[in-house]
Structure 1
Amino acid sequence: MSVTILPSPLVTATWLFEHLDQSDLVVLDASWFLPGTDRDPVQEWKAKRIPDARYFDFDTKIADPDSDLPHMLPNENQFSQAVSELGIAQHATIVVYDSQGVFSAPRVWWMFRAMGHNSVAVLDGGLPGWEAAGYPLESGEPVAPQPATFRAVYQPEWVIDADTLHQQLEEQGCQVLDARPAARFYGTQPEPRAGIRCGHMPQAKSLPFTQLVKAGYFLDVELLRQRFDALSDQEQQLIFTCGSGVTACTLALAAELAGRKRLTVYDGSWSEWGSGLKYPVVQSGD
């Protein structure tokens, strides 16, 4: 059986087109839209997708069914079952894209890494970049994949919970980076989810994910390094947060591209931290 070797955690449309017929390659559409957006990612996937792309629903299907928080990472058994039903085998090489360029696809990249599967990459430029390059598209009702066997092995270093993060906020060995827009970080713009406080965690620094991408593509590696070097030391553990754990993963992928090694995502993110009064919140001027 041939094995497709990824050149990096980020691949170009040209690379994907040249490897699209590899038997072990699985392409996933991980499009997702913010609450209140009048768009249906599943219907858009059916209407226009990269050939043979399967839809990876991390929002409602491949998520912790027992959590009140949005699209929390499921446990390894739940993940294994859902991924197996998608026809993704243990040996698969996975490329994930979304319809906005680089937005929600890194979330699925992080999920697979957190579940012990390293042969996964994000398509730089996403579906718009693929389409702009003139590569083929597919539409209509997709063919259901044949179930496969996938076994997740949870990697706890990729994930942190709220209580553990709270304990680590004052430690010099870690730095929290927040991917939300700066206005939300500083509490001058309300949160989109009802009942969530405004502001940020103590000791956190603002790094909006939009500072790492341009027109749907990641910045060059050297620019990414500069962004992270300006906010953290090389050896620090980086803990990424955002509104609900999606764009935090864009920061995680950018940090890996920049050569950082100790990367962790706070899955609950501001949807958890900003609700209630359990955890400390700082606002602009505090």
Structure 2
Amino acid sequence: MSGRNGLISTAELADILGQADLRLFDCTTYLEPAPEGSSLPYLAVPGRHTFEAGHIPGADFLDLQSEFSDPNTELRFMMLDVAHLERAFGRHGVSNGSQVVLYSIGTPMWATRFWWMLQSLGFESASVLDGGLDKWKLEGRPLETGPAQGYKPATFTAKPKTGFFVDKHETLAATSERGTVVVNALGPQFHKGLEPSRYGRPGRVPGSCNVSAATLLDPKTKAFVPLGEADAKFKAQGITKDKRVVAYCGGGISATIDLFLLHQLGYDNLTLYDGSMGEWAKDTSLPIETG
């Protein structure tokens, strides 16, 4: 089901609903405007309300910010330590023998973030639902309402892999490495610094190219664009398989859409700057580029 690319279609998921080893999760979070005077760029609101209004039958709900992110930092959605994540996934019934399917609403970025985290923990049997709940509903497939029933707790043992996450120092070093390309997944207006940034200083990591995550999705179905089209977008920005790729965005979420598609295309040397512009734009010791 997952194999190299970790993508599952709505038809494929419909065929395996109810299988004993399936662990199906809605991962949706909503980014709401922060109150006036807040130091936070936005409020992270778990999508539990939309989950209860309608979810794929049998699904459980994962709350990225409160249960799967580091609470001891001002930055949202930072990667937690391995032991915490083992316990959190285990609480939701994930064992090393599970087949995990992840989806979200409006954008796959919440699902691809969980996929990236699981990859870094050495868990290979996770797939992202192409088109998420949007495509599932467009096709008139069944929904269930009400709170999550959850899965029976299990034991999850990670086999952590290095290189999946980098910090600001490694990202700064990457800007001057000949064999590395840094890619920004935010929209072009933010990449160029043409609009005020909710993260701090407008602009980008110097020398980074731009493949906006939004351009990698079908606006109607929220499915990923065909791989050939994605490949052309990456290659047009000088991203080739012989280079290491460091991806970033605002909070380390939408960049995982770029990373997910690069993985599908057979790119191997991929990493995520977890702090992204949430950290970079505020730290005045770091250079920033506009225009």
Deviation of the 1:164 alpha carbon: 1.3
Whole-Å Cα distance in 2 between the matches of residues 17 and 7 of structure 1? 21
2:211 aligned with 1:207: yes
Q: In structure 2, give the amino acid aligned to 1:200.
A: R
Cα 1:220–1:5 change in 2 (3 A) is closer
Change beyond 3 A, Cα 1:7–1:251: closer
Equivalent residue runs for 1:67-106 within 5 Å: 67-106=73-112
Counterpart of 1:156 in 2: which secondary structure?
coil
For residues 101-125 of structure 1, the C-alpha deviation after alignment (integer angstroms, 9 at most, x for no partner) is 4232111111111111111111011
1:113-262 equivalence runs, <5 A = 113-193=119-199, 196-215=200-219, 216-231=222-237, 232-262=239-269
In 2: Cα distance, 1:60 partner to 1:277 partner: 29
* CA positional deviation for 1:66: 1.7
Give 1:7 deviation, angstroms.
7.4
For the 8 Å contact 1:101–1:124, the answer to whether it is kept is: no
Letter aligned with residue 134 of structure 2: P
Whole-angstrom distance in 2 between the partners of 1:142 and 1:282:
45
Cα separation, partners in 2 of 1:22 and 1:171, compared to 1, 3 Å:
same
Query: Number of paired residues?
Result: 279
Contact 1:76 1:153 (8 Å CA) reproduced = no
CA–CA separation in structure 2 for the residues paired with 1:5 and 1:113: 12
Separation in structure 2 between the aligned mates of residue 52 and residue 160 of structure 1, nearest angstrom? 35
Contact 1:101/1:127 (8 A) holds in 2: no
The more displaced of 176-185 and 159-168 is 159-168
- TM-score between both structures, scaled by the size of structure 2: 0.91
Cα-to-partner distance string for 1:16-64 (whole Å, 9 max, x where unaligned): 0001122111111011122328975111111210111111111221111
Specify the SS of the correspondent of 1:80.
helix
Secondary structure in structure 1 of the residue aligned to 2:177: coil
Selected match of 1:19 from 16, 19, 23? 16
Structure 1 residue runs of 4+, over 6 Å off?
A: none
Hey, what's the Cα distance between the residues in 2 that align with 1:48 and 1:154?
Answer: 34
Q: Secondary structure in 2 aligned to 1:121?
A: strand
Post-superposition shift, 1:219? 0.8
Distance 2:171 2:109 in 1: 24
1:210 alignment partner, SS class: helix
Q: Which residue type is aligned with residue 210 of structure 1?
A: A
- Tell me, yes or no, if structure 1 residue 35 matches structure 2 residue 32: yes
1:270 equivalent in structure 2 = 277
Amino acid at match of 1:66: N
Q: Is the 8 A contact 2:90 2:156 kept in 1?
A: yes
- Which residue does the alignment assign to 1:283? 290
Contact 2:168 2:275 in 1 (8 A): yes
1:141, distance to aligned residue in structure 2 (A): 2.3
Shift of 1:88: 1.1
Could you tell me whether the CA contact under 8 Å between 1:85 and 1:147 is conserved in 2? yes
In 2, Cα distance between equivalents of 1:160 and 1:5: 26
How many Å separate the matches in 1 of 2:2 and 2:282? Answer: 43
Identity of aligned pairs, percent? 26
Which range is displaced more, 44-53 or 94-103?
A: 94-103
Distance 2:285 2:74 in 1: 16
Question: Normalized against structure 1, the TM-score is what?
Answer: 0.93
* Gap runs ≥5 in structure 2: 34-41
Q: SS at 1:8's partner residue?
A: coil
Output the CA distance in 1 between the equivalents of 2:4 and 2:231.
19
Q: Which deviates more, 8-17 or 227-236?
A: 227-236
Task: Give the aligned CA root-mean-square deviation in angstroms.
Answer: 1.7
Separation in structure 2 between the aligned mates of residue 99 and residue 168 of structure 1, nearest angstrom:
33
